[in-house]
Structure 1
Amino acid sequence: MKPTTIAFDVDKTLSDMSPMAERFAGIQRDWEPEAAVEDAPSWKPGRAAYGYAAKACGTAPGESLLVAVHPWNVHGAVGTGLGTAWINRSGGKYRVYFRAPDHTVSGPDELTAALA
């Protein structure tokens, strides 16, 4: 799946995102906050939270990809129909009781190649 929208699950202010944006060169050039879970009809990992985020970004869930570091977050996104990429920062095993991500990378530098 080649997503039209990539959503990063971050809890940083937009000003904190510039170093991360450089690491994701070629994926997304404009960093604009589109949605906040506080405005969604439910909290993650509830389906309504991910549906709300896709709608706020102007895409359908099937055209979107969530990039996250928490397996429970990936699990919720998969259940809503979003594509997913899990950044496995610790090198640990993905728990089998969560729905599996479409892509697993060890860091953001690998994401561009994984989505090619």
Structure 2
Amino acid sequence: MQTSPKPKLLIFDVNGTLLNMDGIKTAINQAYQHPGAFTQWFSWLLQYSLVDTVTKTYHPFSEIAEAALQMTAASLKVNVDAVFMQDILKSMQQLPPHPDILTGLDLLKKAGYKMVTLTNSASAAQKKQLEFAQLNAYFEETFSVDAVELYKPHPKTYQYVLDELNFDPQETMLIAAHGWDVAGAARAGLQTAFIARDGQALYPLAKKPEFVCADLHELAVQLAAL
């Protein structure tokens, strides 16, 4: 049961939450000739973004993504040419929204929620992503971690958005389909909502989110009723 105050600001993760990465998953698994290649790549992408944060280093997310593609090829002992890797990086900017996103965002917009995004991708890449997916109109502002040169789930990435918009964490909710993102936002004091997409799970040692929903439409119905 929702016991926290009604959130006034909703912060959305982008990759995997709003945008569907299934096409990239298929392309990587086929090119790398392994059904787990995409999962390995994405795990290393997140892992080494955290290595940058912990070691006080910063490389753009696209550079880490390319490095992780190279590492995946090396670990699976396959030859993948540089052109394919560049095509994958470009396709990250041309992801379709998940089927539940438009109806969910429509409901939340009609309910009067202020909505913004926060992504590990660079600002320019995020702009292209939202334009391609035709989601720009739903978000009043978009934020990238490149402004603070720290990757989510570092608490300062969420605090950056709060400071920019002058909101308290208790009146703000992060919406994400990643357990690590939900855990980080909760640690920063935000309310959270987990979208339980296929293959995703919550971190059992973190604070439980205020909402766990199968998709954004289900969450939007509940938030609109508050």
Q: TM-score range by the shorter chain?
A: 0.7 to 0.9
SS for the counterpart of 1:52 is helix
2: CA distance between counterparts of 1:72 and 1:64? 18
SS for the counterpart of 1:26 is helix
2: CA distance between counterparts of 1:107 and 1:33? 23
Gaps of 5+ in 2: 20-92, 111-137
Query: Which structure has the larger Rg over C-alpha atoms?
Result: 2
**Pick from 189, 193, 207: which aligns with 1:99?**
207
Moved more, 62-71 or 82-91: 82-91
Question: What does residue 32 of structure 1 align with?
Answer: 140
Contact 2:179–2:201 (CA under 8 A) maintained in structure 1? no
Contact 1:34–1:57 (CA under 8 A) maintained in structure 2? no
The Cα shift of 1:92 comes to 5.8
Moved more, 29-38 or 96-105: 29-38
Question: What does residue 111 of structure 1 align with?
Answer: 219
User: Higher helix share goes to which structure?
Assistant: 2
RMSD, aligned α-carbons? 2.6
Question: What does residue 104 of structure 2 align with?
Answer: 23
SS for the counterpart of 2:187 is helix
Question: What does residue 181 of structure 2 align with?
Answer: 73
Code of the residue aligned with 1:3 in structure 2: it is P
Contact 1:105–1:114 (CA under 8 A) maintained in structure 2? no
SS for the counterpart of 2:108 is coil
Question: What does residue 57 of structure 2 align with?
Answer: none
2: CA distance between counterparts of 1:51 and 1:88? 24
Gaps of 5+ in 1: none
| Distance change (3 Å), C-alpha of 1:55 and 1:108 | same
**Pick from 6, 9, 23: which aligns with 1:2?**
6
2: CA distance between counterparts of 1:82 and 1:111? 17
Q: TM-score, normalised by structure 2?
A: 0.44
SS for the counterpart of 1:35 is strand
2: CA distance between counterparts of 1:58 and 1:34? 15
| Distance change (3 Å), C-alpha of 1:8 and 1:58 | same
